Amino acid sequence: MLQATFKKYTLQFKQASGTSRGILRTKDSWFIFLKDTNQPNLIGIGECGLLKGLSADDVPNYEAKVAEVCAKINQHEYWLSEGLRQFPSIHFGLEIALKDLTNKGSKILFPSPFTKAEIPIPINGLIWMGKKAFMFEQIKAKLAAGFDCIKLKIGAIDFEAELDLLKFIRQHFSAQEIEIRVDANGAFLPKNALEKLKQLSDFELHSIEQPIKQGQLTEMAHLCEKTPLPIALDEELIGIFTPANKRKVIETIRPQYLIFKPSFIGGYSGTQEWIDLCEEFETPWWITSALESNIGLNAIAQWTATLNNPMPQGLGTGQLYSNNIESPLIVEHGNIYYKNNGLWDLTNLSINPSNP
């Protein structure tokens, strides 16, 4: 028999972080704690990572749904088949907790050369929105830290200032020296998006994520057909729950790339459905975290390592919070590593690792 409890935890950003939707200062997660009555000293921990205003399951009864899943935890096979399709972040949290419990609470969910600290995962360095000087300082810091791929959030400051920033970067670093991805988070309007893409393409960018808001399939398909700059779909995948609708999105839009955030699209199984479609349509993809704590980031990184995708992934968010869960995940030289002898400190969750 399984027993489950949960806890809401508010992560505190070290510094306010700008996006096209506003400034982020805190971020809530719900942690599921799972035990087997036959092994009561072992605990599996999963993170339900919700982003207000963006996650498909950002609904008033969210916490009540977490509570229901915990109360009926022995129905986990139902929850993981159809019961949580419309609650993708809870689905993922449950997947993580079950996987962790199966592996005796070790946090080694997918043993691989990555978890043995032998092979790291290349990642992009994330540059947050802000004034031009602030963004440039972030870029210098990422380059000094060994990143050769950076991702800039755009769409919040003046577009001309963003073009000036990209021009400045390219004056100092060629496309061979530094790969630049930009993320508009749907900030452009369909009527002027193509012109903006043409201007951005002057700077030899790798790709742009979500130039217009999701849900405009015809407009996005037109952009992907005409664009001089590869387009990656991100938010477009949110709220697309069934395999048939997933196929419709990729068949209609025919994007150059897809980007997967497991907390947004149903965890491992939901993401795998998209990956299978990408293989069918020969669409490249990569995986990113969605501002989870190190519990969720660990679950994403370990799985990603088994997929053997050589592209830089978006897994560099573990250092954003002042009250994160201390983990073996370390970012060095533009890569994420599983180091520190595999040691975790769960005291921020009121759990003593030696006596769960």
Task: Please count the other Cβ atoms lying within 10 Å of the Cβ belonging to residue 284.
Answer: 14
Residues sharing a CB contact under 8 Å with residue 52, sequence separation 6 or more, in sequence order: 28, 58
Rg (CA), the chain: 20
Residue 261 designated active-site:
yes
Beta pairing, strands 179-183 & 149-153? parallel
CB 317 within 8 A of CB 298: no
Q: Pull the structure tokens for residue 334.
A: 């533009």
Give CA–CA dist 105/333, Å, rounded.
Answer: 29
Residue 131 designated active-site:
no
Beta pairing, strands 329-332 & 335-338? antiparallel
Pick the catalytic residue from 27, 99, 151, 261: 261
Give CA–CA dist 41/139, Å, rounded.
Answer: 46
Three-state DSSP at 275 gives: helix
Pick the catalytic residue from 142, 153, 196, 246: 153
Give CA–CA dist 60/68, Å, rounded.
Answer: 14
Beta bridge partners of 216: none
Task: Please count the other Cβ atoms lying within 10 Å of the Cβ belonging to residue 289.
Answer: 27
Residues designated as active site: 153, 261
